[in-house]
Amino acid sequence: MLTCREVMHPTTTPLYADEPLGKAIDFIMERHMGLVPVVDRQERFVGFLSGERLMRALLPRHLTMVRGLDRMGYLRESREELRERLDELVQQPISTVMDSRAEVVHPDTPLIEAHTILADTQFVVPVVDPDSGRLLGAISFFTILALLRGEPCWSDRLEQAGGKIY
């Protein structure tokens, strides 16, 4: 039986939930990442920051209210107005924009559980330590496809290099 430990990609993130969103935006722009894990100061996984969440946060407040997105045809905005909203946003903590509802798995969780989560609701499944909640790695469709193509899994690569996951 394959476990998440065998397939996960070790993951670290420099993004802490209490840091300014501006740091996250810089990180996302530098790495061209649309989905980034966020941790607390004890390295415990607390959520994801996605491009989708950032774009929603940049919308005018009245559009994010009930049925506001259905009635936006009248809206015209300038680059300056959009920039003003970004300037307000960058000082907020990452936690105000991130999504904390992600499902997680543990290293010994059968891979099929992560696979099911990927097929149903998420692009990435965080692998966390069952005791501390610390982020250890992630599983995505890339890691599963690499396994199916016969590429060495991350745990094999680390073992060959003398390292160890978890």
pLDDT grade for 162, boundaries at 50, 70 and 90:
low
Determine what percent of the chain is predicted with pLDDT higher than 70. Answer: 81
Choice between 130 and 120, residue whose per-residue pLDDT is larger: 130
The pLDDT of residue 166 is above 50: no
pLDDT tens profile 134-155:
999 999 988 888 888 887 665 5
Question: Which pTM was predicted?
Answer: 0.79
Beta-carbon count within 10 A of 148 CB: 8
Using alpha carbons only, how large is the chain's radius of gyration in Å? 18
Question: Domain spanning 4-160 has what CATH number?
Answer: 3.10.580.10
- Break the chain into its structural domains and give their ranges: 4-160
Q: Which amino acid is at 59?
A: L
